[in-house]
Amino acid sequence: MKKIIMIGIIYGISIYIAFLYRDPLLNWLNQSDLSQLPFMFFLSIFFGVIPIVPFTVFAGVMGAKYGVWVGAIINWTGSVGAAAVFFVLARYFFVSQFQNYIVRFKKIKKFELIISKNAFIAILFSRMIPIIPPPAVNVYSGLSSMLFKTYILATALGQIPGMLVYAYLGNQLFVSPRSFAAGILFYLGFIIIILFIYRWWYKKKS
């Protein structure tokens, strides 16, 4: 409950700041200067690792500024890049610290069981639906014996739908509230379908 309240506060502050500075923000969003693209790719990875700005907010802004496809590519780069950084840190640099972190998650035993059945499918599903929080997925994968190529390929594929949706929602937020709402409903429907597929797969494997 405390975590949900904290997330709500962070998003509320982000929206309030955006409202206060809406005029310069809108001016910046309307600029078509592509010279800032390399810096946006860097920021996408940075905010994926250190969420000073919630990544979903940043991802929406990228969609609003650069359009759905370019925005989605920036978002995808950030999410996959951050996942790779956490994997490397957990495996080679901060093993004991991350071991202490991962035991806080009660669902990690279930995730461990899913990993044992098929690591690629487990990571793929965890990226598309909230089976377990993404930071826990990143850290546990790095601490496990999972191959990096399995982890990064499943992550790269699993992040595509979400990053596209975030970019689309950001792109439509100031253009068409109806399309924005339709995008949310479509994404919720997608998650429900994937959840049913995941449960079917899990029962079959069990």
Tell whether 146 and 107 lie within a shared domain: yes
Tell whether 40 and 140 lie within a shared domain: yes
Q: pLDDT tens across 146-164, in order?
A: 899 999 999 999 999 999 9
CB hemisphere CA count around 124 (13 angstroms)? 14
Tell me the C-alpha distance between 180 and 170, whole Å. 8
Q: How many helices (H) and strands (E) does the chain have?
A: 12, 0
Q: What is the DSSP letter of 93?
A: I
Tell whether 14 and 82 lie within a shared domain: no
Tell whether 92 and 49 lie within a shared domain: yes
Tell whether 26 and 48 lie within a shared domain: no
Tell whether 137 and 168 lie within a shared domain: yes
Q: Cβ of 185: how many Cβ atoms within 10 Å?
A: 9
Q: pLDDT tens across 102-145, in order?
A: 777 777 777 777 787 788 988 998 899 877 778 888 888 888 88
Query: Tokens at residue 134, please?
Result: 């993404």
Residue in 128, 125, 119, 175 with CA at minimum distance from that of residue 148 = 119
> End-to-end alpha-carbon separation of the chain, Å?
31
Tell whether 99 and 25 lie within a shared domain: no
Tell whether 70 and 158 lie within a shared domain: yes
Tell which wins on pLDDT, 102 or 2.
Answer: 102
Q: pLDDT tens across 175-193, in order?
A: 777 888 888 888 888 888 8
Please give the tally of structural domains in the chain.
Answer: 2
pLDDT > 70 in the chain, percent: 83
What is the domain range of residue 108? 34-205
